[in-house]
Chains A and B, each alone.
Chain A
Amino acid sequence: NAGVMQNPRHLVRRRGQEARLRCSPMKGHSHVYWYRQLPEEGLKFMVYLQKENIIDESGMPKERFSAEFPKEGPSILRIQQVVRGDSAAYFCASSPTQGAMNTGELFFGEGSRLTVL
């Protein structure tokens, strides 16, 4: 059973370009979460998605950031017109469908490290 898969693992962009980060949850998981870890800081919640729905985006910056989790395919975190302050590690986590099987435990991917030049 493959874990949470994120790609790319490393991404370099110049200021003003777009960054797209992808996350495939664990098999059987329909809940996806994105977290950001800025240099020398802790992980901060960004957004919580289920298939085709954004459940909680309270941690997302108001501009330039968007996330989706389509019916088919991975979840995408998109950052438009990147700035140097966007340089960080972006982690995706997944959890099983709500219900008796869901203990609330999150399983994290290896992260995507974005560097903005």
Chain B
Amino acid sequence: KQEVTQIPAALSVPEGENLVLNCSFTDSAIYNLQWFRQDPGKGLTSLLLIQSSQREQTSGRLNASLDKSSGRSTLYIAASQPGDSATYLCAVGSYGNKLVFGAGTILRVKS
């Protein structure tokens, strides 16, 4: 049974700082890995999708890496801004697009 863990559970940083969010999973037989952002009371916004054959994906100030063999992914946010404050969710996809989610990292960027 796939289990996804995100560390840290919460993070508070000053504006402008670069930061790394961590995600680990127990079963390396994955189809893909997705990072989402969730604002309070809102839905999920897809940030980055990494296929199992890929090592990383980049979008603007975001970079996500994937190491299947060690069961790890990281989300790197450069030059953080107060607007980046949200909950970041890591989700591992198996065949059939069934996603297993981590509990999330609550990020607060202070101005």
Chain A residues engaging chain B, CB cutoff 8 angstroms: 31, 33, 35, 41-45, 48, 55-56, 91, 93, 95, 103-111, 113
Contacts and interface: CB of A to CB of B under 8 A. Distances in A.
A104 B31 CA distance: 8
Contacts, number: 62
A97 to B, nearest CB: 12
Range for the number of chain B residues in contact with chain A: 20 to 34
The secondary structure that dominates the A interface is strand
A106 B42 CA distance: 16
A110 to B, nearest CB: 4
Contact of A106 (B97, B100, B102): B97
Interface of B: 31-32, 34, 36, 41-46, 49, 51, 89, 91, 93, 96-104
B75 to A, nearest CB: 16
A60 to B, nearest CB: 13
A91 B32 contact: no
B89 A42 contact: yes
